[in-house]
Amino acid sequence: MSEIIIAIDGYSACGKSTLAKQVAEHFGYLFIDSGAMYRAVTLFALQNGCVIDGKVNEKALVECLSDVHLEFKKEAGIPRIHLNGLDVEDEIRKGQVPNFVSQVSAIKEVREKLVNEQRAMATLGGVVMDGRDIGTVVFPNAALKIFVTASLEIRIERRFQELKAKGIVVEKSEIAKNLNERDYIDTTRIESPLRQAPDAIILDNTQLTKEEQLNWVVTHVKSLLNKNLS
């Protein structure tokens, strides 16, 4: 076993994507941000009249799901999501997308489509994928499963800084409200709720620097690979 699948799950704004990117770069693996895929479908829903009076029209969205084509294309080594040929990596982080993404990702047909695509992307070898159901549903046999947690305060601060760096200014109270709502929907939905896989290891990165959290994962990956060699 030389190239493995690493599943990284956890709550919103815990730094999963940052960690997944770091780990993928370190090992030369493919990084897949599954949340970006749910966000891109949400953007599609907003652009195509599938959100009415603050509610996602499930039936309308399901009917046009076959018109949603997602692809990751690398720019400066970092994969960016494209929706029907257009780079939407920045657009999916702002506007109304964060407010509706949990509703969209609770739809069974949306999940089926994206889970199939996620599995298809991982057929070529080493992959680091982050999301909510990667270790439980997408890759239940992943060699390494990590469940990331962090305090709510640090999650708010990280999301605030991430948005600020992109020139997007949002009140921290607004971020807290959005994270609480998404945590609630993500953990209580019927379809593939956010759960820690029984064989996942927990990484609480509240007090860790980016370098420390990378070292933590690298140590686990190396010991796993060594165990399989011996």
User: Would you tell me which residues interact with ligand DC (CB under 6 A)?
Assistant: 12, 34-35, 38-39, 101-102, 105, 131-134, 182, 186
Neighbours of 222 (CB within 10 A): 11
Q: Which is nearer to ligand DC, 29 or 89 (CB)?
A: 89
Angle between helices 16-27 and 210-229 (to 10 degrees): 50
Please name which of 4, 2, 1, 10 lies closest in space to residue 146, comparing C-alpha atoms: 10
Structure tokens at 107: 């739809």
What does the alpha-carbon distance between residue 79 and residue 118 come to, in Å, rounded to a whole number? 14
Q: Which is nearer to ligand DC, 27 or 39 (CB)?
A: 39
Question: In Å, how far from its chain's centre is CA 156?
Answer: 17
What's the first-to-final CA gap in the chain, in angstroms?
11
Q: How far is the CB of 101 from ligand DC (least distance, A)?
A: 4
Residue holding tokens 């709502």?
181
Query: Taking phi first (over 0 means left), then psi (-120 to 50 degrees means alpha), and beta for anything else, what does residue 87 get?
Result: beta
Question: Quick check: 29 and 126 in contact, CB under 8 A?
Answer: yes
Which residues, listed in sequence order, are joined to residue 127 by a DSSP beta bridge? 5, 30
Kindly tell me the number of DSSP H helices and DSSP E strands found in the chain: 8, 10
